[in-house]
Amino acid sequence: MLEAPAAPLKGAALIKDEVTRLPDKPGVYRMMGEEGEVLYVGKARSLKKRVIQYAQGRFHTQRIAHMVDLTRSMEFITTRTETDALLLEINLIKQLKPRFNVLLRDDKSFPEIVIRREHPAAQLRKHRGAHTIKGDYFGPFASANAVNRTLNTLQKAFLLRSCSDSVYESRTRPCMLHQIKRCAAPCTGLIALDDYAALVEQAEAFLRGKSRAVMGKLSDDMQAASDEMEFEQAARLRDRIRALASVAQETQINPETLEEADVFALHAEGGQACVQVFFFRAGQNWGNRAYFPRVDKSDEDADVMGAFLGQFYDDKPIPKLILVSTDPAEEVLLEEAFAQKSGRKVEISRPQRGEKRQLVDHALTNAREALGRRMAEGSAQAKLLTGVAEAFGLDSPPERIEVYDNSHIMGTNAVGGMIVAGPEGFQKSQYRKFNIRGTDITPGDDFGMMKEVLRRRFARLAKDEEEGQETVRPDLVLIDGGMGQIAAVMEVMADLGVDDVAVVGVAKGPDRDAGLERFFIPGKPYFMLEPKSPVLYYLQRLRDEAHRFAIGTHRAKRSAEMKKNPLDEIDGVGPGRKRALLHAFGSARGVARASVEDLMKVEGVSGPLAERVHAYFRK
């Protein structure tokens, strides 16, 4: 009689078995569940000594015991040093988002200012992402508004261009920014490139914290111009000094003893946490942002701070000084990892007195207030979602609401927009736009556009589910429209076999008055909510946000369409040849009027290409 195969090991028994083959070396381990999902990622100075602790059954919290019970397999990676293990652990946590790790959420990149040096006349612009452009980077700024305000000021003070290279090359007369005294107009030769380069150096010095030296130099130049009775020049210098002074006035906190640092303050309460981050660069406050990492109520503050710092700086520039309200776990190891990444010494400090302590206390107050607001909003949000479930007959409050709207002008540049909301409010990272591509849709056919958007959205969802990818189905779909739109959407849902998602149409009243909205549910007569109902106000906000997003997407597409250059459509005309043609003839219209012979005189334009360009404009 054959013996039955032994049951696969799991939990503590599986971990105990794995330990027998583990080396006494640094590395990273992953604990996996029944479906292969990653439950936890950890690092260790010694994999063998660290992992054996999970098999001994002595756990600090019930949560860790539950994690061990769910473990069905483990994976290991050895590293050269514990610092390398820490860096790998941080990267894997951000990629895999394990259920039992502290997780930094909403990790968008920060905007920066870059002085782009790839052109004889350097360009001042906003930048996000990797440093792929040759130039000098300054940041991070906490928000787009903060960087836009600073750019505005720098344009007034240093008159640096912000236009693209193609616009620069095609200018024949100064643009509006020169007229309002925000650009020196190097494009048309109104300032020599050497003098323009001096402005660039002044801007760089200011952004590096040498504001007093820059303002002192401008003040001396203003006095000299006044002594020479060049009063217009003196007035221009005065305006530039005022613009620079406004930078200091716009920020509430500008430390006197701190040139470059990030300040982190953690406040945890009721199983939730807020980390408030302030950025100080060049002796100025460049804004702050609140984060709400995913934590468990059993997590220690030191562990939360350590995990947060590691994930935060995984893809961001690291300052020389990091001030914290709570000493992070494995502080020395973090300092070593940050020094390895940045190529210079990095200090993590919890100040005890003086101005630095005041900055940390200020950040901690902000963290405490931000978490209080979030917890209050969360309670109110839960009540609203319960009200939505009651209004639409749902079994439970919706966790994910998707709202759809279309935007176009006479059928042109048609786009669809999807916004997402849930217990934590609007989830802007989940928003999606859809360029309407259907060739069989009559321009202005709202039903056809809505069908295309929903078909693409749910066909993709079904495909991802078939392939075993992680997906999230909406509990409720809101459509901007009445029974016609609902019928179109339900036709798509039936085709795709989606029958477990509630669909509701929201249509404005007869005079399109807010408060008189009618709601349409398939198979039921339409109904209205109480005019002053909080649930009605909430649904109005959802619809208005979808409308705003769709219109914004449409305007961006229309603007891009208007800026298109005919030369972009010609095969063989890349950025270099396009720049050469515009420089030679001033504009696309000038290129259109040129003969084949004239086109061939432009550097890089061969005979066949000249004929192709000539033929294109004479179709």
Q: Which long-range contacts (CB under 8 A, 24 or more apart) does 486-493 make?
A: 486/520, 486/521, 486/522, 488/447, 488/448, 488/450, 488/451, 489/450, 489/451, 489/454, 490/522, 491/451, 492/451, 492/454, 492/455, 492/458, 493/454, 493/458
* Confidence category of residue 443, pLDDT binned at 50, 70, 90: low
Question: Which position has the higher pLDDT, 475 or 253?
Answer: 475
List residues bridging with 123 in a β-sheet. 116
Q: What is the pLDDT of residue 27?
A: 93
Is 154 in contact with 182 (CB distance < 8 Å)? no
Q: Which residue, 226, 250, 274, sits at the end of a domain?
A: 250
Q: What is the pLDDT of residue 1?
A: 47
Is the same domain home to 27 and 85?
yes
What is the largest distance, in Å, between two alpha-carbon atoms of the chain?
Answer: 112
Q: Which amino acid is at 373?
A: R
Is the same domain home to 136 and 222?
yes
Q: What is the pLDDT of residue 471?
A: 76
Is 507 in contact with 481 (CB distance < 8 Å)? yes
Is 46 in contact with 71 (CB distance < 8 Å)? no
Does 380 reside within a domain?
no
Is the same domain home to 55 and 134?
no
pLDDT in tens, 20-58: 889 899 999 999 998 889 999 999 999 999 998 888 876
What is the rounded CA–CA span in Å between residue 197 and residue 473? 55
Backbone angles phi, psi at 133, to 5 degrees: -90, 140
* Confidence category of residue 135, pLDDT binned at 50, 70, 90: confident
Q: What is the pLDDT of residue 245?
A: 67
- Range of the structural domain that residue 75 is part of: 11-96
Q: What is the pLDDT of residue 411?
A: 47
Q: What is the pLDDT of residue 336?
A: 93
Is the same domain home to 413 and 543?
yes
Is the same domain home to 66 and 50?
yes
CA nearest to 110, candidates 245, 277, 308: 277
* Confidence category of residue 458, pLDDT binned at 50, 70, 90: confident
Q: What is the pLDDT of residue 275?
A: 94
Q: What is the pLDDT of residue 38?
A: 92
Is the same domain home to 454 and 535?
yes
Q: Which residue, 221, 250, 279, sits at the end of a domain?
A: 250
Average pLDDT (252-279) is 82
272: domain CATH number is: 3.30.420.340
Q: For the CA atoms of the chain, what is the radius of gyration?
A: 30
Does 353 reside within a domain?
yes
* Confidence category of residue 514, pLDDT binned at 50, 70, 90: low
Round the average pLDDT of the chain to a whole number and report it.
Answer: 83
Categorise residue 269: left if φ over 0, alpha if ψ from -120 to 50, beta otherwise: beta
CA nearest to 391, candidates 510, 518, 541: 518
Residue 156 has pLDDT above 90, yes or no: no
Enumerate residues 6+ apart whose C-beta is below 8 A from 176: none
What is the rounded CA–CA span in Å between residue 466 and residue 462? 6
Does 183 reside within a domain?
yes
Does 394 reside within a domain?
no
Number of domains in the chain: 5
Element of type H or E holding 49: helix 47-55
Residue 561 has pLDDT above 60, yes or no: no
Q: Which residue, 188, 215, 250, sits at the end of a domain?
A: 250
Question: Which position has the higher pLDDT, 168 or 5?
Answer: 168
What is the rounded CA–CA span in Å between residue 541 and residue 582? 47
Is the same domain home to 118 and 158?
yes
Residue 4 has pLDDT above 70, yes or no: no
Three-state SS at 574: coil
Is the same domain home to 331 and 427?
no
Please state, in angstroms and as integers, the Cα–Cα distance from residue 453 to each residue in 151, 262, 504, 611, following that order: 38, 43, 16, 42
Average pLDDT (552-575) is 69
Question: What are 171's two structure tokens?
Answer: 């200018």
Is the same domain home to 507 and 601?
no
Q: What is the pLDDT of residue 333?
A: 93
Count the Cβ atoms, other than its own, within 10 Å of residue 174: 16
* Confidence category of residue 408, pLDDT binned at 50, 70, 90: low
Is the same domain home to 501 and 571?
no
Is the same domain home to 302 and 416?
no
pLDDT in tens, 176-192: 888 888 888 999 888 88
Does 209 reside within a domain?
yes
Average pLDDT (335-343) is 92
Does 390 reside within a domain?
no
Does 237 reside within a domain?
yes
The least confident of 97-101, 117-121, 158-162, 217-221 is 217-221
601: domain CATH number is: 1.10.150.20
Does 392 reside within a domain?
no
Q: What is the pLDDT of residue 252?
A: 47
Most confident of 105-109, 221-225, 513-517: 221-225
Residue 139 has pLDDT above 70, yes or no: yes
Count the Cβ atoms, other than its own, within 10 Å of residue 538: 20
pLDDT in tens, 482-495: 888 888 888 888 88
Q: What is the pLDDT of residue 251?
A: 47
43: domain CATH number is: 3.40.1440.10
Residue 250 has pLDDT above 60, yes or no: no
Is the same domain home to 505 and 580?
no
Please state, in angstroms and as integers, the Cα–Cα distance from residue 279 to each residue in 125, 144, 206, 289, 571, following that order: 20, 14, 17, 9, 47
CA–chain centroid gap for 459, Å, is 26
Q: What is the pLDDT of residue 201?
A: 87
Categorise residue 165: left if φ over 0, alpha if ψ from -120 to 50, beta otherwise: alpha
Residue 3 has pLDDT above 60, yes or no: no
Question: Which position has the higher pLDDT, 437 or 422?
Answer: 422
Question: What are 447's two structure tokens?
Answer: 């039903």
Residue 2 has pLDDT above 60, yes or no: no
* Confidence category of residue 549, pLDDT binned at 50, 70, 90: confident
CA nearest to 115, candidates 97, 100, 127, 128: 127
